[in-house]
Amino acid sequence: MKFQILNEYDALEVVLVHRPGEEIDRLTHENMRAFLFEDIPFLARMQDEHDEFVDEMRDRGVRVVHLHKLLRELLETQPNTRSKIIEQVCTAEQASGVASDLKDTSRVPTDLLLSILFRGITHGEYQELVGRAADPGAHSRQFILRPIPNAYFSRDPAVVIGNSAISCKMHYLERSRETILARAVLEHHPEFTGHHIIYGGSDSPRDDRPFTIEGGDVIVLNEEAVLVGASERTRMETIEILATRIFGEGRIRRFYALPIPTERTFMHLDTVFTIVDRGVVVWFPGVMENLKYIHLCTPDGSGGVRRQTEDRSLTKILSDEFGREVTIIRTGGGDEHYASREQRTDGTNILALAPRVACTYERNARTIIAMEKAGVEVVKVVGSELVRGLGGPRCMTMPLRRSGGA
């Protein structure tokens, strides 16, 4: 498979997703905020909603690949990669003492290991599995390996820019395993043979904390320009490092860094800004119309990056990059009350399936009306349970390939 993401709106051809699983049922009232959830979803309905979302994409010709399936194939066919994944996961969780037991295929067959990688394992479950305690003083319900309930937000652990893959470094340790699993698939699964991870690969240990970046902050404007949110989860220093790597690889020549508020509701740039066609964007006015500054990173001519403050407004920058005057669709139709409501339910986190064909939760009614008035065909999906993790259709997808186009 050839990676190709030249913009955010050409016809989506291949996308990677993760169907919510047992990890969701690990959430409780006591731990949900530690795992970055605002509420406890109903898993069965959540899976139904995710299946319906995937069906909508497939009905429109998108090839949907599941992380769970690719990872299973990897664990079954590549023993060395299996061992490496276990070591990396256990090291990240400071649980190296259990790695040897998890490597024992007679005790932990592939399906069980796959389950553990997503739902984690408690001290009680570990003792039942191996017949001894990992820590005699630990409570049976305490996690040795924590669950990763955010894994269905597959946008964040990796991103494709042009023909290059980026392995992201998560801000919160609770999400670090998502990067490990996605990176393993991109690096080792035969589906992706021949591709190089330009940032964050397992052979680049320096690309790690504190240099965090998450896929929801990365938006590809065109073949030469990228918009990146300098947010709670993506550091400006990382943007400069990434820009240096990308500039050395090919056509990208401009990185625009936008500072967004470090608030839970605005965790990534794509929660306040998305693109549905060339020159047509959806944005949350409360943030996007109050930007204090914009940084432009360009090659400095000696292999580094030159950063300067932009004189142009964001509207002017977008119009210049699109080659036409930008059309702005405001969340909630621009009504401050409904914009606030629909921002909370990811009314701005929209996935373009093709030019002027965009997917969003059906509950974002005012934003949908505004999009339809602008000539956008809206694919509406149910998200009453999916939205409880604070993420929409764009958050739930890692596009690997879009059709090439002008």
Please tell me whether residues 264 and 361 are part of one structural domain.
yes
CA neighbor of 161 nearest in space, from 400, 406, 404: 400
**Cβ 195 vs Cβ 201: under 8 Å:** no
**Cβ 358 vs Cβ 367: under 8 Å:** no
DSSP secondary structure string, 298-335? Answer: EE-SSSSEEEEE-SS-HHHHHHHHHTSPPEEEEGGGG-
Please tell me whether residues 300 and 177 are part of one structural domain.
yes
d(C-alpha 62, C-alpha 74), whole Å: 23
What would the two tokens of residue 181 be?
């699993």
Please tell me whether residues 82 and 227 are part of one structural domain.
no
Q: Which residues of the chain have pLDDT under 50?
A: 406
Please tell me whether residues 248 and 188 are part of one structural domain.
yes
Please tell me whether residues 256 and 312 are part of one structural domain.
yes
Residue at a domain's end among 97, 130, 145: 145
Q: Establish if 6 belongs to a structural domain.
A: no
Q: Establish if 7 belongs to a structural domain.
A: no
Residue at a domain's end among 145, 162, 181: 145
Task: Write the burial class of residue 132 (CB in 10 Å: 0-12 exposed, 13-18 middle, 19+ buried).
Answer: exposed
Please tell me whether residues 332 and 238 are part of one structural domain.
yes
**Cβ 184 vs Cβ 141: under 8 Å:** no
User: Apex CA 192: angle with CA 187 and CA 194, to 5°?
Assistant: 85
Please tell me whether residues 287 and 226 are part of one structural domain.
yes
d(C-alpha 378, C-alpha 368), whole Å: 7
Q: Is 198 helix (H, G, I), strand (E, B) or coil?
A: strand
Residue 231 is predicted with a pLDDT of 87
Domain containing residue 214: 12-66+149-402
Task: Write the burial class of residue 193 (CB in 10 Å: 0-12 exposed, 13-18 middle, 19+ buried).
Answer: exposed
Q: Establish if 274 belongs to a structural domain.
A: yes
CA neighbor of 43 nearest in space, from 22, 63, 67: 22
pTM, two decimal places: 0.94
Indicate the pairing of strand 12-17 with strand 254-259.
Answer: unpaired
Residue 406 is predicted with a pLDDT of 44
Please count the structural domains in the chain.
Answer: 2
The strand pairing partners of 298, in sequence order, are 306
HSE at residue 255, side-chain half, CA atoms within 13 A, is 28
What would the two tokens of residue 362 be?
């059906």
CA neighbor of 276 nearest in space, from 390, 340, 372, 157: 372
Indicate which CATH number applies to the domain containing 289. 3.75.10.10
The strand pairing partners of 156, in sequence order, are none
Please tell me whether residues 388 and 323 are part of one structural domain.
yes
**Cβ 392 vs Cβ 346: under 8 Å:** yes
What would the two tokens of residue 102 be?
């998890």
Q: Establish if 117 belongs to a structural domain.
A: yes
Quick: pLDDT tens for 262-305.
Answer: 877 778 999 999 999 999 999 999 999 999 999 999 998 888 89
Residues whose CB falls within 8 Å of the CB of residue 125, separated by 6 or more in sequence, listed in order? none
Please tell me whether residues 175 and 199 are part of one structural domain.
yes
Q: Establish if 3 belongs to a structural domain.
A: no
Q: Establish if 193 belongs to a structural domain.
A: yes
What would the two tokens of residue 266 be?
């605005």
Q: Establish if 5 belongs to a structural domain.
A: no
Catalytically active residues are 395
Please tell me whether residues 392 and 259 are part of one structural domain.
yes
Residue at a domain's end among 145, 172, 189: 145
Please tell me whether residues 51 and 176 are part of one structural domain.
yes
Q: Establish if 4 belongs to a structural domain.
A: no
Amino acid at 92: A
Please tell me whether residues 158 and 306 are part of one structural domain.
yes
- Tokens 């490597």, residue? 103
Could you list the beta-strand ranges (E) of 211-326: 218-220, 225-230, 254-259, 273-277, 280-283, 295-299, 305-309
